[in-house]
Amino acid sequence: MSAASVVSSVSTAGIEPQDRLAFWEHYNAEALVGLTCSSYVAEGLVASELNLDVGGFRVANIAGNAHVIERAPQLVRERPKDAVFASVLLEGDAFFYHSEGCATLGAGDVIVYETDVPYLFGFSSTMRQILVDVPKSVFEERCAPTPGVPLKVAADGVGPAAVTARALRRMLLGLVEDPGAARHSTGDHLLDLLGTMTAGKGTPNGAAHLLSAKEFIATHLGDFDLCTDRVAHAVGVTSRHLNRAFATEGTTVAQYIQGRRLEAARLDLTSPSMEGHRIADIAGRWGFASQAHFTRLFRARFGRTPSEDRGSRSGT
């Protein structure tokens, strides 16, 4: 049985344009949070939402055209909800207005906020977001103290929070694209990532650090200076701490990097775009000191040499 289940899925496409805002407000009051919605586009609000249950909290995949949602002070009083939302903006541009100011968001950015504090969330164009809905008591127990004021984490930022935010985005995308493939640890890992991202550098969370490190490695695999120390610095822990996290999977950071590079090189060996490149060129592209060194490691991992693998898989 999957650790994630579909609770509901709706779209305004089949609703009369004049009724779409009321339909959207009613649905979200039941599925997520009480809100008011406004749209000024000619065709009215065109939006869809998929809601998942992930063992004690919800994840929502929301897409639509330009619109604004608001939880004004009166609505907060009338429809209370004691939760923390983490919104990962996947497409479009947005602004988040609250009592302390206004945050602007671009694709990939994350904003974490409390639902019992008034806010206005606007999307100026076609948008898509994945929203994590965590009860405040669960957030405080499993993640970190509630943020108080909304916390924005930029997708293109540096430092542990940004690295963790990118890992969170990747995990959420995989979850909404195939809920049936979710593991029973998925919910725990999502909470781990939220805790590390919001609490900062000092959070002693091995699972989240492991996920964040893998995300950093995946996006920097071609960098010649990629090493244990650099990954650990990006994640915000010591090399020793990070190696302990990787030890739970029976490997080290360096071994994991080497394995990912061997896999990338193996893909290059049969890629049409790399057909004219020598094996030595491919080895150098992925940071191997020499073709001989690459061949030795490749044979130990895959049971054949790079030239044998290239020949057998290309049909020659």
313: confidence class by pLDDT, cuts 50, 70, 90: low
pLDDT > 50? residue 117: yes
State the DSSP string of 8-70.
EEEESTTS-GGGHHHHHHHHHHHHT---EEE--STT---EEEEEEE-SSSEEEEEEESSEEEE
Helix (H/G/I), strand (E/B), else coil: 192: helix
Helix crossing, 186-199 with 160-177: angle to 10°?
Answer: 150
Give phi and psi for 221, each to the nearest 5: -60, -30
pLDDT at residue number 5: 92
CATH architecture of 220-316: Orthogonal Bundle (1.10)
- As a whole number of angstroms, the distance between CA 31 and CA 73 comes to 20
What mean pLDDT is predicted for residues 220-246? Answer: 90
- Note the pLDDT tens digit of each residue in 71-97: 999 999 999 999 999 999 999 999 999
Q: Range with the lowest mean pLDDT among 13-17, 96-100, 204-208, 277-281?
A: 204-208
- pLDDT, tens digit (0-9, with 9 covering 90-100), for 3-58: 789 999 999 999 999 999 999 999 999 999 999 999 999 889 999 999 999 988 99
Q: What is the pLDDT of residue 237?
A: 87
Neighbours of 142 (CB within 10 A): 17
Q: Is the pLDDT of residue 132 over 80?
A: yes
The three-state secondary structure class of 155 is coil
Is the distance from CB of 242 to CB of 231 less than 8 angstroms? Answer: yes
For 92, which DSSP code? S
Question: What percent of the chain has a predicted confidence (pLDDT) above 70?
Answer: 96
Beta-carbon count within 10 A of 307 CB: 13
Question: Chain-wide mean pLDDT for the chain?
Answer: 90
Neighbouring C-beta atoms of residue 204, cutoff 10 Å? 10
Q: What is the pTM of this model?
A: 0.78
Kind and range of the H or E element at 151? strand 151-153
- Rounded to whole angstroms, the Cα distance separating 131 from 45 reads 19
Cα separation, 69 vs 45, whole angstroms:
11
Model confidence pLDDT, tens digit, residues 138-182 = 999 888 888 788 999 998 887 888 888 998 999 999 999 998 887
**In the chain, which residues fall in CATH 1.10.10.60?**
220-316
**CATH 2.60.120.10 in the chain, residues?**
5-216
Select the CATH number that applies to the domain covering 5-216 from these four: 2.40.50.140, 2.60.120.10, 3.40.50.10210, 3.50.50.60. Answer: 2.60.120.10
Long-range pairs of 94-103 with CB within 8 A, sequence gap ≥ 24: 94/121, 94/122, 94/123, 94/124, 94/127, 94/129, 95/121, 95/122, 95/124, 96/120, 96/121, 96/122, 96/150, 96/152, 97/121, 97/122, 98/149, 98/150, 100/149, 100/150, 103/150, 103/152
Residue 1: which pLDDT band, with cuts at 50, 70 and 90? very low
